[in-house]
């Protein structure tokens, strides 16, 4: 049973050809368009934040986005829609640790629409699940988690040479692809996108963070758009626990402030669903 009312579209400056949404998704979300992006992947991000800018409560068992959105069904709808569009979903190791039991596929995001999401992917010519990409510089991930063991999704781990040694010490399955793109230290987002596109030809790449990875995408101007859910919650902060915002590990303003252009506002109850475009280095290539 689909227990959802349609999102109200308050503003929409989208351009491009509308994707072939099944009637159920079209009624709930409205048209979904991406601008033309010939010969390169279009890179989008998806996050949920509280009114005071918190994206993770950093509390054991409550570190994921569900606690931020209030497990909001409209947020799950949008998340599933974006995962259904994506050829690859990129997350950092911290995001994996915050949500250790999930797979980054639409069908497990909002289950009443699982069959609808599948038919949408089929209409897009994408019968296979999106490539689940885990980014880890140090290789500190648990290969016993469902994303690695279920066999339901193709998995790519992008890491450093040192990280690859750490991962291979766990004797990973041959179905898990491991790509070391640096010797050690931080990983370039451009290099991450290059190896992802080499493993899986991509029209749309989705990143769901976390904040450090999002900061890297923005710093390297590798993000075309951000879908941002604004939840009507105030989480608060104190001096004992770090509660990150959308970006961590990078400072932009005032010298290198990053400004977005508002593309869409949708409303579901007291939640707002915002869409911003950003200047992308790949757009000019």
Residue 263 domain-assigned? no
Residue 285 domain-assigned? no
pLDDT of res. 174: 86
With a pLDDT cut of 90, the percent of the chain lying above it is 86
pLDDT of res. 10: 98
pLDDT of res. 63: 86
Over residues 185-231, the pLDDT tens digits come to 789 999 999 999 999 999 999 999 899 999 999 999 999 999 999 99
Residue 89 domain-assigned? yes
Residue 93 domain-assigned? yes
What is the tally of structural domains in the chain?
1
Residue 280 domain-assigned? no
Cα separations in angstroms, 184 against 160, 164, 187, 198, 245? 5, 10, 8, 21, 26
Domain that holds residue 203: 21-30+40-55+62-235
Residue 199 domain-assigned? yes
Instruction: Indicate the pLDDT class of residue 2, thresholds 50, 70 and 90.
Output: confident
DSSP characters over 137-205: SS----TTSHHHHSSSS-EEEEEEHHHHHHHHTT---TTEEEEEEESSS---HHHHHHHHHHHS--SEE
Residue 113 domain-assigned? yes
Mean pLDDT for the chain overall: 94
Residue 285 has pLDDT above 70, yes or no: no
Residue 192 domain-assigned? yes
Q: For residues 177 and 138, what is the distance between their CA atoms, to the nearest angstrom? A: 16
Q: For residues 46 and 83, what is the distance between their CA atoms, to the nearest angstrom? A: 10
Residue 7 has pLDDT above 80, yes or no: yes
Q: Which of 194, 185, 222, 191 minimizes the C-alpha distance to 207?
A: 222
pTM: 0.95
Kindly report the CATH number assigned to the domain that includes residue 219: 3.40.430.10
């Amino acid at each position: 049973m689909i227990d959802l009312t349609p999102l109200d579209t308050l503003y929409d400056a989208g351009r491009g050809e509308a994707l072939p949404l099944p009637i159920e998704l079209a009624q709930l979300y409205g048209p979904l368009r991406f601008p033309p992006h010939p010969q390169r992947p279009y890179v989008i991000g998806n996050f949920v934040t509280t009114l005071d800018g918190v994206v993770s409560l950093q509390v054991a068992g409550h570190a994921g986005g569900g606690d931020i959105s209030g497990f909001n069904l409209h947020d799950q709808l949008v998340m599933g829609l974006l995962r259904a569009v994506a050829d690859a979903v990129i997350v950092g190791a911290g995001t994996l640790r915050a949500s250790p039991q999930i797979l980054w596929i639409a069908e497990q995001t909002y289950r009443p629409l699982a069959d609808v999401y599948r038919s949408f992917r089929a209409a897009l010519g994408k019968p296979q699940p999106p490539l689940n990409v885990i980014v880890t510089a140090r290789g500190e991930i648990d290969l016993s988690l469902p994303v690695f063991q279920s066999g339901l999704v193709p998995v790519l781990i992008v890491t450093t040479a040192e990280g690859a040694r750490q991962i291979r010490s766990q004797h990973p399955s041959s179905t898990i692809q491991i790509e070391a793109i640096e010797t050690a230290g931080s990983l370039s987002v451009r290099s991450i996108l290059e190896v992802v596109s080499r493993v899986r030809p991509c029209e749309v790449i989705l990143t769901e963070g976390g904040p450090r990875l999002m900061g890297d995408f923005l710093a390297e101007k590798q993000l075309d758009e951000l879908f941002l859910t604004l939840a009507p919650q105030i989480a608060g902060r104190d001096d004992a626990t770090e509660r990150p915002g959308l970006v961590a590990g990078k400072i932009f303003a005032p010298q290198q402030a990053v400004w977005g252009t508002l593309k869409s506002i949708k409303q579901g109850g007291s939640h707002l669903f915002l869409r911003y475009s950003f200047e992308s280095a790949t757009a000019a290539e």
